[in-house]
């Protein structure tokens, strides 16, 4: 398990490398949820997503290496590319063909190579492992790594410093690095706080693994919440157990419910987010998430959505 001490050390290590992102109330969602709802606007982070926290912490702890590599659905790759550029290291980010072009372009713009491999994150991971094995690159996994989890956990420390009386945190769930880190930090400070994981119905690997009682493979499908795609790894060492032990509730959403959350955040709260970041709002709108026991914080995990796609989703329903 990643500990509170690990997360506090990460916070000190990456201080000055990341932004402290805003926390703001959402009157519209509060009315629908039956209690106060707050938005933790992590999509305002440098590189547009929470992933910079974990990537920066992991990269800062590397020794002498030929370069860095990973497999990513986009946001972790962009974050690692940013951290590598700060350290003057080459970076090769392995992605599947399901990753949107705007995320590939963002990786390339940071001077890294976005290498498209196969139809799933697991296939992309094989190339990252080859680079580690044969070319001396340091492999920084997107979620199942103690330094990555500790870095993501700094978001939990920061959120509770901004809203100490939060009763629940709603966290987008994919491989589990974000939920594991934030939950470890939050429950260390507030053991009674409720941790709610939210994912999509289409290809949610962590949800399927928790239901099975062990990591399982799930077909990776196209989804509006593309950042939540990918497997958790059959050899998962940390995030499966941490999510199993620290998460209080798990909610799955349809594609229509995710789109509804995205539209609401844009129209009512003025926040442009990607599908993965809209799941909390989508869950409230679908009647699957309430805030009756005290303040509810929705972690808006990223904003790296293609502008044309965002406009098209807004135009689907007027």
Q: Which positions are annotated as active-site residues?
A: 51, 301
Buried b (16+ CB within 10 A) or exposed e, 287-311: eebebeeebbbbbbbbbbbeeebbe
CA-to-CA distance for 281 and 265, rounded, in angstroms? 7
Distance of CA 172 to CAs 89, 198, 301, Å?
A: 30, 5, 7
Measured CA to CA, the distance from residue 30 to residue 281 in angstroms comes to 10
> Angle 75-87/101-109 helices, nearest 10 degrees?
0
User: Please, what is the angle between helix 51-60 and helix 75-87, to 10°?
Assistant: 40
Strands 137-139 and 249-253: unpaired
Alpha helices in the chain (DSSP H): 4-14, 27-33, 51-60, 75-87, 101-109, 121-135, 146-162, 177-189, 205-212, 239-246, 255-269, 279-285, 307-315
User: Distance between CA 210 and CA 229 in Å, rounded?
Assistant: 16
Contact 256, 285 (CB under 8 A): no
């Amino acid at each position: 398990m990643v500990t509170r001490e690990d997360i506090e050390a990460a916070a000190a290590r990456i201080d000055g490398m990341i932004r402290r992102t805003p926390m703001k109330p959402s009157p519209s969602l509060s009315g629908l949820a039956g209690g106060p709802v707050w938005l933790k606007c992590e999509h305002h982070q440098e590189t547009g997503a929470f992933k910079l926290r974990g990537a920066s912490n992991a990269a800062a702890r590397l020794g002498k290496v030929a370069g860095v590599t990973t497999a990513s659905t986009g946001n972790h790759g962009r974050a690692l590319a940013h951290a590598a550029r700060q350290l003057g290291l080459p970076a090769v980010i392995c992605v599947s063909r399901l990753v949107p072009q705007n995320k590939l372009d963002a990786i390339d713009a940071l001077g890294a190579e976005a290498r498209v491999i196969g139809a799933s994150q697991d296939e992309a991971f094989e190339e990252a492992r080859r680079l580690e094995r044969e070319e001396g690159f340091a492999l920084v996994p997107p979620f199942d790594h103690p330094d990555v989890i500790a870095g993501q956990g700094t978001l939990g420390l920061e959120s509770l410093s901004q809203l100490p009386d939060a009763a629940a945190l709603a966290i987008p769930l994919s491989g589990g690095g974000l939920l594991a880190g934030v939950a470890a930090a939050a429950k260390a400070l507030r053991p009674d706080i409720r941790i709610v994981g939210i994912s999509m119905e289409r290809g949610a690997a962590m949800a399927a693994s928790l239901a099975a009682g062990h990591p399982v493979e799930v077909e990776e499908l196209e989804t509006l919440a593309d950042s939540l795609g990918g497997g958790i790894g059959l050899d998962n060492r940390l995030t499966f157990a941490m999510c199993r032990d620290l998460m209080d509730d798990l909610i799955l959403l349809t594609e229509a419910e995710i789109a509804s959350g995205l539209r609401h955040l844009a129209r009512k709260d003025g926040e442009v987010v990607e599908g993965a970041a809209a799941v909390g709002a989508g869950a409230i709108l679908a009647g699957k998430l309430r805030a009756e026991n005290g303040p509810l914080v929705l972690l808006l995990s990223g904003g790296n959505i293609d502008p044309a796609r965002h406009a098209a989703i807004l135009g689907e329903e007027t």
